[in-house]
Amino acid sequence: MSLDAACSLLLASALIAYRATGGGASARVDREQGMVLIGRGPMHAVYRALMPIGRLLVRLGVSANAVTLFSLVAAAGAATAFALGHFGVGALVACVASLADAVDGLVARESGTASPLGKVLDTTVDRYVDALSSAASRCMSARARRCSCSSSPRSSPPSW
């Protein structure tokens, strides 16, 4: 089974569990507006899928701020991999960074350490991640322009 299929199966099973139990998985998700076409069901499913990870991190004593800073480091690694042309590695590391970004708030709420300063840190790190993503995209674009081949059949392939 591929990683994509496994993740899809996990999300689908969480959505089925949400529907089977009548919903209401989280008051936090219930406060959100939901997605226009599909409602709150997928949000509840993702929240349920991430709760065990958040609870495990709390039991291990990992702070929400540490998770947030880890997401920044992971995003920098993903941006570097993308900029160097390692798209598979970059995608995998970007998924880890996104997962950490999604879990940090759960850790804060579960540990009772949610604070205005933590929200500011999370939002600030999110903007840095956006900047890293933009910089990686520009590096990939510049690299592609430098390495483009002429239409001649004798030309060598780009050295990515």
Active-site positions read 126
Q: Do residues 101 and 126 make contact, with C-beta atoms less than 8 angstroms apart?
A: yes
Long-range CB pairs of 57-64, under 8 A, 24+ apart, other chains included:
57/103, 57/107, 58/107, 58/110, 58/111, 62/107, 63/107, 63/111, 63/113, 64/104, 64/105, 64/107, 64/108, 64/111, 64/113, 64/114, 64/118
